[in-house]
């Protein structure tokens, strides 16, 4: 066999293998997600496919594995491995007063309505490690509402919820957080809300005295309370349209007749089947209010 011919055969074999792996990729990823659902109950079948694929591939690379099935085997054998992989599949990036103008919009449009209630209930869905919860608690305290408020802070990631309860963050983030706090309309000195030690800060625990941290999955769980404000920011972006509709349906089922919904700056309800159930209050910073007509349809 000539060298040229051998190289040609090898190249063809390699191409076939790559093609086969490519073709099997979606099946193997689906097996992985189905296995996770059967073993641990987390349903990722309606997450946006492309970004889920990228995240699975990144985990496989990081763990030096060959394919999703190998990852599935490890996950099935060990809850610890699953707990480590879960945050990588769900993306928990957060920051205090993320998109500061959003919090200005809350002060301007939502706070006046909340003042009219003897008790205020807020649901922070997909709260991750708690930065958003502390930001909201600071706003409610400065507006004199925190003591009569309950915040339900939920997520599917138990580790993130534990970190949120602890309220300990890197001190290196505090410069940026302070800038955000001021840009968000902060009225005090942000340093007063935490104590700093050894490169870490501990947020003032009294801010989360009335916060209930809890496991809640927007893909599988149901409505659990009525609230006047729901924040679900930078979560729907990871869902496909069907799951986005499910989550928005849960929010409608939870919201007070004229309650408010805040989403992330890259998220939209325009194409959702629930679009008509919300009025837009701030298009840029994604603040919506439940539409009057929606009470009848979703009472
Ligand atoms: C990018 S973080 C957003 C954190 C915070 N809301 C913010 O905007 O800074 C997305 C969070 O959504 C959570 N999440 C993903 N899927 C979820 C689901 N089905 N139900 C509830 N939370 C979910 C993740 O665990 C993660 O903590």
The partner residues of 214 in beta bridges, in order of sequence, read 154
Claim to verify: residue 80 and residue 104 sit in the same structural domain:
no
Claim to verify: residue 128 and residue 146 sit in the same structural domain:
yes
Sheet of 255-263, strand order: 211-215, 149-155, 120-125, 227-232, 255-263, 287-290, 278-282
Reported as a pLDDT band with limits 50, 70 and 90, residue 19 is very low
- Specify whether the CB–CB gap between 238 and 217 falls below 8 A: no
**Separation CA 285–CA 122 (nearest Å):** 18
Claim to verify: residue 229 and residue 123 sit in the same structural domain:
yes
User: Per the domain annotation, does 71 fall within a domain?
Assistant: yes
Pick the residue whose CA is nearest to atom 23 on ligand 1. 126
pTM of the model: 0.91
User: Per the domain annotation, does 95 fall within a domain?
Assistant: no
Of 55, 90, 125, which residue constitutes the final position of a domain? Answer: 90
**Separation CA 292–CA 158 (nearest Å):** 36
Average pLDDT over residues 137-158: 98
- Specify whether the CB–CB gap between 188 and 81 falls below 8 A: no
Q: State the distance from the centre of ligand 1 to the C-alpha of 92, rounded, in angstroms.
A: 6
Claim to verify: residue 8 and residue 129 sit in the same structural domain:
no
Pocket of ligand 1 (CB under 6 A): 90-94, 98, 126-128, 131-132, 155-157, 160, 217-219, 233-235, 264
Claim to verify: residue 179 and residue 272 sit in the same structural domain:
yes
Claim to verify: residue 63 and residue 109 sit in the same structural domain:
no
Count of domains observed in the chain: 2
Q: State the distance from the centre of ligand 1 to the C-alpha of 232, rounded, in angstroms.
A: 8
Claim to verify: residue 165 and residue 230 sit in the same structural domain:
yes
User: Per the domain annotation, does 109 fall within a domain?
Assistant: yes
Claim to verify: residue 202 and residue 232 sit in the same structural domain:
yes
CATH number of the domain residue 128 falls in: 3.40.50.150
**Separation CA 155–CA 216 (nearest Å):** 5
**Separation CA 117–CA 188 (nearest Å):** 25
Of 65, 90, 115, which residue constitutes the final position of a domain? Answer: 90
User: Per the domain annotation, does 24 fall within a domain?
Assistant: yes
Reported as a pLDDT band with limits 50, 70 and 90, residue 25 is confident
Give per-residue pLDDT as tens, 92-124: 999 999 999 999 999 999 999 999 999 999 999
Range of the domain at 247: 100-297
């Amino acid at each position: 066999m000539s060298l040229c011919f051998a190289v040609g055969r090898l190249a063809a074999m390699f191409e076939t293998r790559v093609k086969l792996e490519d073709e099997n990729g979606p099946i193997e990823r689906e097996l992985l997600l189905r296995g996770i659902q059967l073993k641990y109950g987390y349903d990722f079948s309606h997450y946006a496919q492309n970004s889920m694929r990228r995240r699975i591939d990144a985990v496989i690379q990081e763990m030096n594995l060959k394919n999703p099935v190998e990852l599935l085997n490890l996950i099935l054998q060990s809850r610890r491995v699953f707990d480590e992989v879960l945050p990588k599949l769900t993306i928990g990036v957060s920051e205090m007063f993320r998109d500061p103008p959003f919090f200005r919009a809350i002060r301007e449009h939502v706070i006046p309505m909340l003042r009219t209630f003897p008790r205020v209930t807020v649901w922070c869905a997909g709260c991750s490690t708690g930065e958003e919860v502390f930001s909201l608690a600071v706003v409610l305290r400065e507006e004199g509402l925190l003591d009569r408020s309950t915040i339900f802070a939920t997520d599917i990631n138990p580790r993130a919820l534990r970190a949120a309860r602890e309220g300990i963050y890197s001190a290196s983030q505090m410069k940026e957080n302070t800038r955000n706090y001021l840009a968000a309309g902060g009225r005090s000195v942000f340093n007063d809300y935490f104590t700093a030690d050894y490169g870490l800060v501990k947020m003032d625990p009294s801010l989360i005295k009335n916060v209930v941290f809890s496991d809640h999955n927007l893909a599988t769980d149901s409505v659990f309370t009525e609230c006047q404000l729901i924040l679900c920011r930078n979560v729907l972006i990871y869902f496909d349209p069907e799951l986005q509709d499910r989550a928005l349906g849960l929010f409608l089922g939870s919201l007070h007749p004229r309650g408010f919904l805040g989403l992330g700056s890259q998220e939209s309800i325009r194409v959702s089947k629930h679009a008509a159930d919300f009025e837009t209050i701030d298009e840029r910073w994604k603040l919506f209010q439940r539409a009057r007509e929606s009470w009848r349809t979703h009472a």
